[in-house]
Structure 1
């Protein structure tokens, strides 16, 4: 444990934040929590100790490190720079780490707001889903100053198996965009492969057993093929959140002049899944879209 950090605040106790904050409590840190739904914060304190607070500002008061894990840019603004936001309770010399998958523009805003107050900042989105959070095996992509990263990294390693500084503020979010771009294409390819195998009369389990040993193998194939074949999608990372992430990617691509034709297409396919009522289904539900559409549909 980094000896300069003993008290942390964790803001946002959803499917990711709840276990992440739990790892910090089990490491012996004094954890102060805030969640928009107070019952979830009360339940967390009941299980892990620490203390519950009625606003982000109060949770952050006296904390050496404040960690944020909420839904989108607007949510982050509300709990950081809003009237009762964490920055109004933080002291100079403390550190803010935002784990939310958000825009590069928001990272720049928070970096500037923190600098004005003498507070360190890292944008640090994560990959690995709920399972990774529970197992303490997340990949954490960070943007910010080297000194701030070196101070926070020992704490982030309580729930991250790979914690990497990618560059200045915003670099973590840009790296997460690359991650989501790659995942979208991989899931669509896996869905099409399984759909093709089914139409060809092949045993899909045996197909995956064989091809996963070669160049086609991926995390998505290893961890999602069984539930996809079983048509089970009430788990995992929701389509609604993936569309939010891909929207960020496509908007950033427009600013950069980068071409993302496959990402744009997969984003439309996820729109089809939402129209089917699958907004809360796992992202691997792209297979159900193929199964439910006419054979001549794209």
Structure 2
């Protein structure tokens, strides 16, 4: 049994905590929303901020701003030698700041941003992209495997965050590209469902077309991730491209479309709302 503190009991953090408890660990959960305390204690975790005897801190926060704000106070509570696992989808630049902060406190820090949404979290089937010391990953992999099906080591600090954001960048590129294809199909009198079948039998086949387009055609906007967080991630990659002088015209275009969708719909949940915005343009 490991003494684990988890900060952030949201759509991913709550099922992660549940899996950790089910694996026999002592789990103490904290969230800024006091109303989730009853859910947490209901599956056997305790409620409260991390205690000094914490062996592993797990953070699952909404994004980079919350992570940057919360970490100083959390790290101050921990003993040197504690392991810190961050599951947040944060910016690569922030990764360097966090690594330096952890080092000052003698904390072993590993970034492990998650791939997969709430359904994967509930099933214990998340994908993790681990950046940091490989020796730290070796020590905590049994804990990670309680809620993750795949754990990929990506390299030094910052690489895990970058990998996760690049995966999401391709996803949101597909949102825009496939949405545009479907609009063109409808305008030309094609049946989008039939077009999907044809695309799946050609070089443009993808998991997105196979799994997501049917949901899109029924009006499902995949309300599992906020438009504001999508824009936050895309803008962090725009910044990364600028810092490294990498041409990123497509990234900028996709970011602009999602930024316009955010301005139109507000910070609501919906991974496919950029398509809805294009349709209304």
Query: For 1:38 and 1:225, how far apart are their aligned partners in 2?
Result: 37
TM score, norm. by length of structure 1: 0.88
| Partner residue, 2:100 | 112
- Listed as ranges, the matches of 1:66-215 within 5 Å are 66-81=57-72, 85-215=73-203
| Partner residue, 1:218 | 206
Give the deviation of 1:37 after TM superposition: 0.4
SS in 2 for 1:141: strand
Larger mean CA deviation between 179-188 and 243-252 belongs to 179-188
Query: For 1:225 and 1:278, how far apart are their aligned partners in 2?
Result: 23
RMSD over aligned Cα, in angstroms?
1.7
Give the deviation of 1:122 after TM superposition: 0.7
- Whether contact under 8 Å (1:137, 1:159) holds in the other structure is yes
Structure 1 residue ranges, 4+ long, deviating more than 3 angstroms after superposition: none
Work out whether 1:51 is the aligned partner of 2:46: yes
1:23-68 deviation line (CA, Å, top 9, x unaligned): 111111111100000111332222x111000xxxx32432211110
Work out whether 1:31 is the aligned partner of 2:27: yes
Q: How many residues align?
A: 281
| Structure 2: runs of 5 or more not aligned | none
| Structure 1: runs of 5 or more not aligned | 294-298
SS in 1 for 2:265: coil
SS in 1 for 2:163: helix
SS in 2 for 1:283: coil
Query: For 2:167 and 2:51, how far apart are their aligned partners in 1?
Result: 30
SS in 2 for 1:121: strand
Query: For 1:65 and 1:212, how far apart are their aligned partners in 2?
Result: 44
- Whether contact under 8 Å (1:236, 1:281) holds in the other structure is yes
SS in 2 for 1:276: helix
